[in-house]
Structure 1
Amino acid sequence: MAYDEDLANRVRERLGGEPGITERRMFGGLAMMLRGNMAVVVRGAAGLMVRVDPAEADRALAEPGAEATVMRDWVMRGWVTVSPAACERDADLARWVDRGIRFARTLPAK
């Protein structure tokens, strides 16, 4: 399944000149990585996967359109799946992308 190219372009635009960003196809989508750490994934199943501080995950999950990320029946701690509707508005997309980048900045480079 292909990921949403328009959403990927909007994420790219939001990331702008952020140094250390690379892209990699994975999970059926497109991962945006900061210094080798995944921060945001444009999902093949639509919407986003956003990396969050596990200590702040409950707060992120309480937002509209957010749910726990599950892969192969395993809940991925520190990741939130964001519905397409919850990232339609530029301000909402910016909030989610910024959250993923903010947490990825705290991780050592790979």
Structure 2
Amino acid sequence: MAYDEGLAARIRAGLAAEPRVAERRMFGGLAFLVGGHMAVAVVGDGGLMLRVDPERSGELLGRPRASRMVMNGRELAGWLRVVGEPDPDDLDGPELAGWLAEGVAFVRGLPPK
């Protein structure tokens, strides 16, 4: 399944003011890297794959639409999946901005690549 171009465009717009953003096709979707680190991706089966502080994962899982990211049957520590309702790609406005801020804030704290 192809990733949602509309969601990718909303993410692109949400990250427009962020320096050092690059896009790369990954995981059947489109990843957005900040300073060389993947912060968020639009995934092929809908929604977002989001990098977060592993110590905050439990707290962030309490938010609507968030779940642990599972890839090849394994949960990925420090990664969340966020899907819209009723359409997995139905994420926009302040909700999307908040998730983007989480991903960007975490990768900004990582060593530069």
Q: Distance in 2 between matches of 1:60 and 1:76?
A: 14
Query: Could you tell me how far 1:89 is from its partner in structure 2?
Result: 3.5
| C-alpha distance in structure 1 between counterparts of 2:17 and 2:56, whole Å | 26
The number of residue pairs the alignment matches comes to: 110
> What letter corresponds to residue 44 of structure 1 in structure 2?
G
Match of 2:98 in 1: 95
Secondary structure of the 1:84 match is coil
Instruction: Work out the CA distance in 2 between the residues paired with 1:95 and 1:17.
Output: 15
Following superposition, the deviation at residue 109 of structure 1 comes to 1.6
- The match for 2:29 is 29
TM-score, L = length of structure 1: 0.95
Do the aligned residues in 2 keep the contact of 1:48 with 1:84 (CA within 8 Å)? no
- After TM superposition, the score normalised by the length of structure 2 is 0.92
Structure 2 unpaired stretches of 5+? none
Query: Deviating runs (4+, > 4 A) in structure 1?
Result: none
Measured in 2, the distance between the counterparts of 1:4 and 1:103 equals: 24
What's the Cα RMSD here?
1.2
1:1-110 map, 5 Å: 1-85=1-85, 88-110=91-113
Identity %: 46
For structure 1, the residue ranges without an aligned partner over 5 or more in a row are none
State which drifts further: 55-64 or 84-93: 84-93
Question: Which is helix-richer, 1 or 2?
Answer: 1
